[in-house]
Structures are given as structure tokens and as C-alpha cells.
Amino acid sequence: MNPAFSSLRRLLLAAAVSAPLAATLSAHAADDFITVSSTTSTEQSGLFNFILPIFSKDSGIKVRVVALGTGQALDMARRGDADVVFVHDKVAEEKFIAEGFGVKRQEVMYNDFILIGPKDDPAKVAGGKDITEALKKIEAAKAQFVSRGDKSGTHAAELRLWKLAGIDLDKAKGPWYKDTGSGMGPALNSAAAMNGYILADRGTWLSFKNRQNLSIVVEGDKRLFNQYGVILVNPAKHPHVKVAAGQKFIDWIVSPAGQRAIAAYKIGDDQLFFPNAEQAAEAKPVARKK
């Protein structure tokens, strides 16, 4: 070895050895955790921040939430990158189970979708109870409409509602229909910026701060029901799935304790999610006010 270059070589060597090492050590320090792939609505509404510390305190298990659209969240679990899925698209969830990726789907809670629109209401839909009527009017008026367009649960619900309204989006799509391909929050930001209508979940809406001229225009239609389910990823497909810890989380969230935690989460006076797991008879759905 030639000492003329030793100082530089030492530096490079030290960096090469220590950098990945330091990072790896910290990554494996806490092994007592599960990874939950979930939706932006549960994360961004603040629900997880509220209920997860309660679970972790009881169980000693940390929950790492990766918030994506429902479609992405299920795909992430398909690749084996999550232990538990917590999403809101029943059709997609049942497909996930049928493919063998999930063990069992359990219903946890619901809230509802709401149609948000600008205060000047160009399509004259405010105050209505019929979501399909409202969508028809928006389409007829060619009023600005912002879609998630990201295969999320909300996007799937929106597409079902257009279909129910008898509108073939492929034909009706025009400059008025903005396919943003983004999460709930960014899509709401877009709608606020362009004074458009948008289908949102109530949880995200209640915690959303940049409302500008937007407000709820249609709510309360039965078809706006938004059910959340929880699924343990099938260890037969992905052997490294943390079955025990994952099941513990699922058992807790459908238990009376978990259901009470969900019901207790409020922004101001508004409850965001309504527990309706089968075991939790006592945590009855609360009647919607307004």
C-alpha cells in the first residue's frame, strides 16, 4: 500500500463501512412492530394518530402505517410488504381474499362520502339528498369536477356512483372532468383551487384545512356509505408476515376497546368514523346529525 494516498483511502473506507452499518443497526433496533398498509383517509384524518398509541400502550406492538390509495395499499400487501391491510373498497377487498392474499376480511367501521362543491354552486345541487341526481346535474352543466383517478377506495366509489347515475364517463368526459391521479388531500387542494365539485370521504374533509370556497353540497344518501375493512395478509403467500402481532391488532380494533377508541375520535364536535365491527354490539352506529 502506498502511504501517499492513505488519508483519502482511510476516509473512503471509513465512509464505506460505517454508513450502511449505522443505517442497518437503527433499522433493526425495534423489531416489535407491524406494518399496516392503509388509506390516506385514515392517516390524514388523524384517526391513526389517535387510536394507535392506545393500542401500542396496551400491547407493546408498534404500528407502522403506510398510507396509500386503497388500490395501491392492496398491491403493496400483494407484494408482501404489509402485515395487515386496512382499507375501504369492499369489492377490491373481496377480490384480494379470493386471490388468496388475505386470510379473512372483517368490517371495522364506516363513515360516508360527501359531495363537496363551491359555494356559488354552478350546477345547483346544494342541499340535495340524491347523489345520482347531483352527478347528473354536474354533468349536464359541465361544471368542474375533480376526480381522484388513483384507484383508491374513494375513486372506486365515485366510478360506481357515475354508473348508478347512468352516465358513461368514457363518453361524457371532457375538460370539466379533471382526472388528477392524486390522494384525497391533493385532490381537495385542486378542487379548492379550481372551485370544482369533488367526492370526498367525511374524515379527510373534516380534518382538511385549505377549504377556501368549498363546502358540503350533498350528504346523507344511503349509497354514500363508506365501509372500512381489515385483513390479515396470508402467511401462506408471504411467510414473513407477522401473524401473531397482526392478528393481535385486528382482534383489538374489532374489540370493544378498539371500537370505543374509534368512536372517541372527534374533530370539534364531529365524529369522523363509526365503529360497526360485528363483535362490538355496544358500540352502536351513532345517528348522523344535521
Partner 1 sequence: MNTFSDSFSTALSLLLNADAHLYGIVGLSLRVSCIAVLLAAVFALPLGAMLAVSKFPGSRTLTVLINGFMGLPAVVVGLAVYLLLSRAGPLGQLGLLFTPTAMSIAQAVLVFPLIAAITRQIVEDAWLEYTEQLQSLGTSNWQAALTLLWDTRWSLSTVMLAGFGRAIAEVGAVMIVGGNIEGVTRVMTTAIALETSKGDLPLALGLGIVLVVIVLVLNAIAHFIRSWAARGGWK
Partner 2 sequence: MNTSTQAAALAMFPLQAHALGFAAGEKQILDGVDLRLERGSFTAVLGPNGAGKSVLMRLLHGLLVPTTGRVQWGGLETRPAQQAMLFQRPVMLRRSVLGNVIYGLHVQGVAAAEARQRAQAALARVGLVHLADRPARVLSGGEQQRVALARAVALEPAILFLDEPTASLDPVATRAIEATLAELHAQGTTIVMVTHHLGQARRLAQDIVFVQEGRVTEHTPATEFFRQPRSTAASDFLQEELP
In the complex, the residues that contact partner 2 under the rule CB under 8 A are 2-4
CB 246 within 8 A of CB 84: yes
- When binding is defined by CB under 8 A, the residue of 5, 194, 236, 244 that contacts partner 1 is 5
Residue 16 Cβ, how far from partner 2 at the closest point, in Å?
23
Spatial CB neighbours of 17, under 8 Å, sequence gap ≥ 6: none
Residue 67, SS3? strand
CB 216 within 8 A of CB 116: yes
Q: Which residues are registered as beta bridge partners of 146?
A: 178, 198
Mark the segment that binds partner 1 (CB under 8 A) among 144-152, 160-168, 177-185, 247-255: 177-185
140 binds, among partner 1, partner 2, none (CB under 5 to 8 A by kind): none
Q: Does 245 contact partner 1 by CB under 8 A?
A: no
- Whose Cβ is closer to partner 2: residue 2's or residue 26's? 2
Q: Does 207 contact partner 1 by CB under 8 A?
A: yes
Alpha carbon distance 32, 37 (integer Å): 17
- When binding is defined by CB under 8 A, the residue of 87, 135, 188, 272 that contacts partner 1 is 188
Residue 118 Cβ, how far from partner 1 at the closest point, in Å?
15
Alpha carbon distance 149, 250 (integer Å): 29
- Whose Cβ is closer to partner 1: residue 35's or residue 132's? 35
Q: Does 223 contact partner 1 by CB under 8 A?
A: no
Q: Does 99 contact partner 1 by CB under 8 A?
A: no
Q: Does 190 contact partner 1 by CB under 8 A?
A: no
CB 59 within 8 A of CB 248: yes
Q: 192: which 3 cell numbers? A: 379548492
Q: Does 1 contact partner 1 by CB under 8 A?
A: no
Place of cell 375513486: 155
Q: Kindly state the number of chain residues that form the binding site for partner 1, as judged by CB under 8 A.
A: 43
Place of cell 482511510: 10
Mark the segment that binds partner 1 (CB under 8 A) among 37-45, 99-107, 167-175, 248-256: 37-45
- Whose Cβ is closer to partner 1: residue 76's or residue 283's? 76
- Half-sphere CA count of 153, side-chain side, radius 13 A: 31
Where in 102-161 is the site for partner 1 (CB under 8 A)?
Answer: none
Phi and psi for 257 in degrees, rounded to 5? -65, -45
- When binding is defined by CB under 8 A, the residue of 10, 60, 81, 279 that contacts partner 1 is 81
Candidates 138, 106, 101; CA nearest to 122 is: 138
Alpha carbon distance 49, 26 (integer Å): 23
3 binds, among partner 1, partner 2, none (CB under 5 to 8 A by kind): partner 2
Candidates 8, 11, 29; CA nearest to 19 is: 11
Helix (H) or strand (E) holding 89: none
Name the residues that contact partner 1, by CB under 8 A. 2, 4-5, 7-9, 12, 15-16, 19-20, 22-24, 26-27, 35, 40, 43-44, 49, 64-67, 78-81, 183-186, 188-189, 192, 207-211, 238, 240
